[in-house]
Chain A
Amino acid sequence: MSILSVRNLRKIYGNTVAVDGVSFSVGRSEIVGLLGPNGAGKTTTIDMILGVLEPNAGNITIDGIDIFSHRSKAIGRTNFSAVYTPLPGNLTVYQNLRIFGRLYNVTNLSGRIEELIKSFDLEKFRNKKCGILSSGEQTRVSLAKSMVNNPHLLLLDEPTASLDPATAREVRIKIREFIECGEGGVLWTSHNMYEVEEICDRVFFLSHGKILLEGNPKTLPAEHNKKTLEELFIAVAREPLTLEVG
């Protein structure tokens, strides 16, 4: 059974169709990339999976639990980190991890926080307010928070967008470890195609709210006569009709 199952998801804002009948799934120990140009509908899709945006149609299940009829139970199995949603800057690293750990009802929370502080090399920032940390340090805290409940489904919206290449690489290693150590699945959005090729097992290309392409990021470019994933991305962004499947 998939960890995440999205079926015929649709979201309309006024006259604009932001997400148009999207269906996909994320399996256990799988990292799935949700790719597409700005405004393609990636964040809208993630917001609906997080339960902070109500779709006009479609359904979403996490571990087989419908997020609309059993929201609290389903959302308790997820967590997320997004570059545009920093943790409250007026709380310390430790306080933020404690608050969110409690909201996710984490057992043995103190032990879990210590593990995360060690794992994400946050010891020297433990009692520092998140607002004074650098963007890279804040991203590490946000990732630590996203793993506080050992989520079955981890949603990462451009998690490495503000990081230098070395830190971004460390983050990718952490995500890989998360996948290898458990049965969790990851839905990842990124505009860095080299990163996507390195880390994702499968990708979906989204354009104008629809999934245009799906496949292995290592073989997908060649299947569409492109040399690299970045070239394919640009083609999707500029000429989506030439790539539309079906």
Chain B
Amino acid sequence: MSFYRISTIVLRQLYLIRGSFSRVFPLFAWIGVDMVLWGFLTKYLNTVASAGFNFIPALLGAVLLWDFFGRIMQGVTIAFFEDVWSRNFLNIFATPLLISEYVSGLVLTSILTSLAGLFVMLIIATFFFNLSFLAYGFMIIPFLLVLFLFGISLGIFGSALVLRLGPASEWFIWPIPAFISPFVGVLYPISTLPAWMQIVSKVLPPTYVFEGLRAIIKGEPVSGMLLILAAALSFVYIFLAYRIFVRIYRSALRSGLIARYSAESVS
């Protein structure tokens, strides 16, 4: 693998972002709106709920982490969609670029764009709504890591899906975080869910993050083993997502879809 070529995929995205307000704006806009909306909601809840429970770290912190996850996933898929939208597959895949380098470039792009988003979220949550990440202690690091890894896996999987189904299928990708959120208990404990949903929850790494976050707020210990399990699960999902991407790419090479991608299918 060549880091030079990987960084070229990132450079292409930076060129696009640098010159485009419509690309910069979404990096911050929706997460900013979410922070403000949930910030005021949690403030309101703090005034009407029984004294002693602080909704800010429980709800606003959870929303912030969930938005971070969403940005990571979208960071990968949007970088991929840029090549879809500009019909660039033939140009880019007819170069010496390896598929592993291409996917690594998408991931690296996502890290940079989501860090920018995270920074804005932290500013709003900390300075406007007094959310202190010190409340979570060092556990914030494994929390972010698990969400980051799982976001990467879903981003790669989503890109693979669009590579397989064609440009119009990008609309399948946007709702994925919303579809997953009820299962992982972003805003409520998993015990609230019916039994079958709890089974699904257990194989989704973010579940352990949000359960851990609530445990900290209640002053209970967080299971390090469960977080390690969550991180291990995320690595498995990244591996599987990458294998699926490579398999679909190779299938597209056989079918001719890479060269005729705008046709959406070769049948």
Contacts and interface: CB of A to CB of B under 8 A. Distances in A.
Contacts of B98: 71-72
B92 to A, nearest CB: 7
Interface string A64-95: 00000001110110101010011111111001
Interface stretch (A97-105, A118-126, A190-198, A212-220): A97-105
Nearest to A77: B96
A90 B86 contact: yes
A80 B91 CA distance: 8
Given A91-B16, A104-B96, A52 B86 contact: no
Contacts of B89: 52
A133 interface: no
Contact of B96 (A82, A98, A105): A105
A111 to B, nearest CB: 17
A53 B8 contact: no
Contacts, number: 84
Interface residues of B, number: 33
Interface in A44-63: 44, 47, 50-54
Size bracket of the A interface: 20 to 34
Contacts of A105: 2, 4-5, 96
A50 B12 contact: no
Nearest to B258: A52
B250 to A, nearest CB: 8
Contact of A53 (B2, B7, B11, B256): B256
A104 B95 contact: yes
Interface in B63-102: 82, 86-98
A85 B96 contact: no
Nearest to A11: B256
Most buried by B among A85, A87, A98: A85
Most buried by A among B2, B12, B254, B255: B12
B21 interface: no
Nearest to B250: A54
Interface string B5-30: 10110011001100010000000000
B200 interface: no
Nearest to A131: B86
B51 to A, nearest CB: 54
A88 B94 contact: no
B228 interface: no
Contacts of B266: 13
B16 A51 contact: no
A9 to B, nearest CB: 14
A165 to B, nearest CB: 27
Contact of B259 (A14, A52, A89): A52
Contacts of A95: 12, 15
A205 to B, nearest CB: 23
Nearest to B102: A103
B180 interface: no
A244 to B, nearest CB: 27
Given A75-B95, A75-B96, A90-B16, A102 B8 contact: yes
A52 B254 CA distance: 9
A104 to B, nearest CB: 6
Contacts of B20: 90
Nearest to A14: B267
Nearest to B253: A54
Interface of B: 2, 4-5, 7-8, 11-12, 15-16, 20, 82, 86-98, 250, 253-256, 258-259, 266-267
9 contacts: A53-B253, A53-B258, A87-B91, A89-B86, A91-B16, A95-B12, A99-B12, A100-B91, A103-B92
Counting from the closest, the 6 A-B pairs by CB-CB distance are A88-B86, A102-B8, A103-B95, A76-B96, A50-B94, A72-B96
Given A13-B256, A44-B256, A71-B96, 15 more contacts: A54-B250, A72-B96, A72-B98, A75-B96, A78-B94, A87-B88, A90-B82, A90-B86, A91-B16, A92-B15, A95-B15, A99-B11, A99-B12, A103-B5, A103-B97
